[in-house]
Chains A and B, each alone.
Chain A
Amino acid sequence: MVSHVVSRVVRRVVPHVFPVPAMPADGPAMIRNRVLATLVALGVVGALAFGFVGFAPNRLLSGRPVALWDAVSAPVLWVVAAAWLALAAASLAPPGRGRDRLALVVGLGLVLALLAGAGEAATRLAATAPSPSARTSLGAGFWLMLFAAALAAVDALQRLAAGMALRALAILLVGAGALALAASGQLSELSLAKEYANRREVFLAELLRHVALVAGAVLVAVAVGVPLGLAAQRRPRTGGIVFGALNLLQTIPSIALFGLLIGPLSWLAAAVPALQDLGVRGIGATPALVALVLYSLLPVARNTQAGLASVSPAVVEAARGMGLTPGQILLGVEVPIALPVLISGLRIVTVQAIGLAVVAALIGAGGLGTFVFQGLGQNAVDLVLLGALATILLALAADLGFQFLLGLTRRSA
């Protein structure tokens, strides 16, 4: 999903921002893939104009940028340069599956090469450092090139009109490669890895807490939102009220909602001791869960209503006429037909909740936001990054999971 949107935006915007002058069709320097050409330009700018990594004597000082050619060994430098050259050549080549396959493989390989290069740079810089508290963080050049390389692969996947299987394979390959690099110790001198190493136990606990918070919120939102959507579809007047209220909730900024819940929940916990024993408090997981559920209700209810409304009235009339009971019509006919729309709703809600749950750390709910806010407090960018990157990866994983589910329901429908 995210990758589709990014690629679409890039294709739309790029020709306007960097208009490619019209060239004669048989011109020798004809650019055939403008997206790729722009990404190559971006990558080259990243390599030449920005530091590949930043090097600092300790984690609180901001680092001094180190250029790619100073940071990595000659073989890595050549691999990266060759990869950009190959992508540049691909952008000039006439359209064809061979060209796009090359761009895909080189793009994916480059992502891993950049990771390995950053790890190598950190190891080399650590060897020259006077103290073990010296830190190597990922620089703007690294991120620009990583971004450009990943988008080059995404663009190639789009051009190949790749199916679910190829997309999944590409993601699995990069994921497995990154994990293998991490496991081999190649990346362990990076500041990000050190921040992780310092918090290894807490990290897993907070990750699980984050997942539990999101899963709990989505489950409750389904339990409440699906009946609301059903009621809205059956009685349009009820629908008006329900969606009016949920729309209003959606407009409250998340931090405000977290804050607003502290008062009533503290009062509730004080007034009803039994609730207190259940863990209901003004701060912590309870208000976070409540807020996430409130934000999730609108998409769940809306998609339930839309999915059920998409069932043709003729189908329902035929079902009634043949003697299906209202329950059989709902579960056997309407819900299966509405399922793809319902799952799309869950996908939106889950990805949204994963992001929102970061903010919930502010009111003591824990989760990956803990690292983000600790990092912000300590001015330690890599700690912020640890929380943020983990959140992004979690959201991407959830998105992919739901895409897969959606593919299954489409196939059977």
Chain B
Amino acid sequence: MIELTRVTKRYGDKAVVDDLSLTVARGAFFVLVGPSGSGKSTTLKMINRLVGIDAGAIAVDGRNVRDMPAEALRRGMGYVIQSIGLFPHWTVADNIATVPRLLRWPEARVRARVAELIALLQLDAAEVARKYPHELSGGQQQRIGVARALAADPGIVLMDEPFGALDPITRDALQGEIARIHAATEKTIVFVTHDMDEALRLGTEIAILDQGRLVQCGSPADILRSPANDFVRTFVGGADFGLRLLGVTRVRDRLRPNGALAGPPVSPDASLKEALSLMIASRRDALPVRDGAGRSLGAVHLADLARA
């Protein structure tokens, strides 16, 4: 658990983070989102003390981060940045092994862990392990960046706009990977982005910041259904607002128990947005809902999607 209590950071007279209090629960996928200059990156870097704080306190698992040596604190957290920052003079395998070697793991364990991570990030060990970073594509490099952050199996991973520089297809794939890894490992992830769709897709909890202040904090559905003020409404709104709302609601919440329909089945855990997409693609106004085992649970109807 990470707790920020009335944290303030000033550069000159300007408070870039202003009296901010947040609690990140263990196992959360916590997304800090806001326009540029909102203080989201600064907030992230205060957690691993890359940026010092002027007032307030930050505690990780109940311990004030100032009471720990900065290096020890950082070795216990993964850190991924947009510009990746792989060491150009080390091979991919050596890059991934950075923190385990700093922690003086036995070499056999380091090697086993590197192999495990390359597989976890769906890369071909035989192909990439001995290569240097400049020989990889941007997407592969960021996969290595993520693997490096996970190497020593930290309980917390900090990610600063990690997919912001990637092309849409690669970004989509990596978003899928990190969501899968989060679900499988129950790590606490603090993730900074300015992309609302990314925040809604990945976050279990979203904090919206503006000019160094917390504007609203809650689940994606909370924020879309009851935006705290006009800023949030504008930030989450726009032409796609309705689709985003569909994106955070599950099919099981609009289930009609009526009989077996024809057409492609949809999972009760799919979002309404996916259901709508499937309806339009298959030219139907209702779809059968079936669970993973293929049992029929009912149907979802186009007319119900617009319901509040």
Q: Is the CB of B84 within 8 A of A333?
A: no
Q: Is the CB of A336 within 8 A of B89?
A: yes
Whole-angstrom distance between the alpha carbons of A324 and B72 in the complex? 9
| A323 in contact with B73 given A317-B50, A318-B79 (CB within 8 Å) | yes
B83 — which chain A residues lie within 8 A by C-beta? 312-314, 317
B98 — which chain A residues lie within 8 A by C-beta? 322, 324
A309 to chain B, nearest CB (A): 15
Q: Is the CB of B50 within 8 A of A315?
A: no
B105 to chain A, nearest CB (A): 14
Which of A321, A324, A336, A412 is close to B102, meaning CB atoms less than 8 Å apart? A324
The answer to whether A200 has its CB under 8 Å from any CB of chain B is no
Whole-angstrom distance between the alpha carbons of A323 and B69 in the complex? 10
Would you give the 0/1 interface string for B81-108, flagging 1 where the beta carbon is closer than 8 Å to chain A? 1011111110000000011001000000
The answer to whether B71 has its CB under 8 Å from any CB of chain A is yes
A325 — which chain B residues lie within 8 A by C-beta? 71
Which of A321, A324, A328 is close to B81, meaning CB atoms less than 8 Å apart? A321
A116 to chain B, nearest CB (A): 48
B50 — which chain A residues lie within 8 A by C-beta? 317, 320-321
Q: Which of B87, B98, B99, B102 has the most CB of A within 10 A?
A: B87
Which of A320, A328, A413 is close to B89, meaning CB atoms less than 8 Å apart? A413
Would you give the 0/1 interface string for B53-84, flagging 1 where the beta carbon is closer than 8 Å to chain A? 00000000000000000111111100101011
Select from chain A the residue with minimum beta-carbon distance to B74.
Answer: A323
B113 — which chain A residues lie within 8 A by C-beta? none
Whole-angstrom distance between the alpha carbons of A312 and B158 in the complex? 20
Q: Is the CB of A318 within 8 A of B99?
A: no
Instruction: Count residues of B near A (Cβ-Cβ below 8 Å).
Output: 25
A413 — which chain B residues lie within 8 A by C-beta? 88-89
The answer to whether B148 has its CB under 8 Å from any CB of chain A is yes
The answer to whether A79 has its CB under 8 Å from any CB of chain B is no
Q: Is the CB of B85 within 8 A of A312?
A: yes
B8 to chain A, nearest CB (A): 22
A29 to chain B, nearest CB (A): 49
Whole-angstrom distance between the alpha carbons of A127 and B86 in the complex? 72
| A322 in contact with B75 given A336-B89, A337-B89 (CB within 8 Å) | yes
Q: Which of B70, B79, B81, B89 has the most CB of A within 10 A?
A: B89
B81 to chain A, nearest CB (A): 6
| A324 in contact with B71 given A314-B81, A317-B50, A318-B79 (CB within 8 Å) | yes
Select from chain B the residue with minimum beta-carbon distance to A336.
Answer: B89
The answer to whether A181 has its CB under 8 Å from any CB of chain B is no
Q: Is the CB of A321 within 8 A of B79?
A: yes
The answer to whether B42 has its CB under 8 Å from any CB of chain A is no
Whole-angstrom distance between the alpha carbons of A146 and B246 in the complex? 84
Q: Which of B83-139 contact A (CB under 8 A)?
A: 83-89, 98-99, 102
Q: Is the CB of A318 within 8 A of B74?
A: no
Q: Is the CB of A315 within 8 A of B85?
A: yes
The answer to whether A405 has its CB under 8 Å from any CB of chain B is no
Q: Is the CB of A315 within 8 A of B88?
A: yes
B76 — which chain A residues lie within 8 A by C-beta? 323
The answer to whether A242 has its CB under 8 Å from any CB of chain B is no
Whole-angstrom distance between the alpha carbons of A312 and B82 in the complex? 13
B203 to chain A, nearest CB (A): 22
The answer to whether B48 has its CB under 8 Å from any CB of chain A is yes
The answer to whether A385 has its CB under 8 Å from any CB of chain B is no
A320 — which chain B residues lie within 8 A by C-beta? 50, 74
Which of A319, A328, A336, A412 is close to B85, meaning CB atoms less than 8 Å apart? A319
Would you give the 0/1 interface string for A398-413, flagging 1 where the beta carbon is closer than 8 Å to chain B? 0000000000000011
B70 — which chain A residues lie within 8 A by C-beta? 323
Select from chain B the residue with minimum beta-carbon distance to A325.
Answer: B71
A330 to chain B, nearest CB (A): 13
Q: Is the CB of B102 within 8 A of A322?
A: yes
A176 to chain B, nearest CB (A): 36
B298 to chain A, nearest CB (A): 49
Select from chain A the residue with minimum beta-carbon distance to B73.
Answer: A323
A333 — which chain B residues lie within 8 A by C-beta? 87, 89
B267 to chain A, nearest CB (A): 38
Q: Is the CB of B84 within 8 A of A318?
A: yes
Select from chain A the residue with minimum beta-carbon distance to B72.
Answer: A323
Whole-angstrom distance between the alpha carbons of A322 and B73 in the complex? 9
Q: Is the CB of A322 within 8 A of B88?
A: no
Q: Which of A308-346 contact B (CB under 8 A)?
A: 312-325, 328, 333, 336-337
Whole-angstrom distance between the alpha carbons of A318 and B73 in the complex? 14
Whole-angstrom distance between the alpha carbons of A20 and B98 in the complex? 60
Whole-angstrom distance between the alpha carbons of A412 and B74 in the complex? 29
Q: Is the CB of B102 within 8 A of A323?
A: yes
A315 — which chain B residues lie within 8 A by C-beta? 85-88
| A319 in contact with B81 given A324-B71, A325-B71 (CB within 8 Å) | no
A25 to chain B, nearest CB (A): 43
B156 to chain A, nearest CB (A): 12
B80 to chain A, nearest CB (A): 9
Whole-angstrom distance between the alpha carbons of A323 and B48 in the complex? 9
A406 to chain B, nearest CB (A): 15
Whole-angstrom distance between the alpha carbons of A318 and B70 in the complex? 14
Select from chain B the residue with minimum beta-carbon distance to A328.
Answer: B102
Would you give the 0/1 interface string for B140-153, flagging 1 where the beta carbon is closer than 8 Å to chain A? 00000100110000
Q: Which of A312, A320, A328, A412 has the most CB of B within 10 A?
A: A320
Q: Is the CB of A319 within 8 A of B87?
A: yes
A408 to chain B, nearest CB (A): 13
A319 — which chain B residues lie within 8 A by C-beta? 85, 87
Q: Is the CB of B89 within 8 A of A318?
A: no
Whole-angstrom distance between the alpha carbons of A31 and B74 in the complex? 67
A314 — which chain B residues lie within 8 A by C-beta? 81, 83-85
Whole-angstrom distance between the alpha carbons of A317 and B80 in the complex? 10
Q: Is the CB of B75 within 8 A of A318?
A: no
B268 to chain A, nearest CB (A): 40
Select from chain A the residue with minimum beta-carbon distance to B133.
Answer: A315
Given contacts A314-B84, A323-B76, 4 further A-B contacts (CB under 8 A): A317-B85, A320-B74, A322-B149, A323-B75
A-B residue pairs, 8 tightest by C-beta: A318-B85, A321-B79, A314-B83, A323-B74, A323-B75, A314-B85, A323-B71, A315-B85
Which A positions have Cβ atoms within 8 angstroms of B?
A: 312-325, 328, 333, 336-337, 412-413
Q: List 9 A-B contacts (CB under 8 A).
A: A312-B85, A312-B88, A314-B83, A315-B85, A319-B87, A321-B48, A324-B98, A324-B102, A333-B89
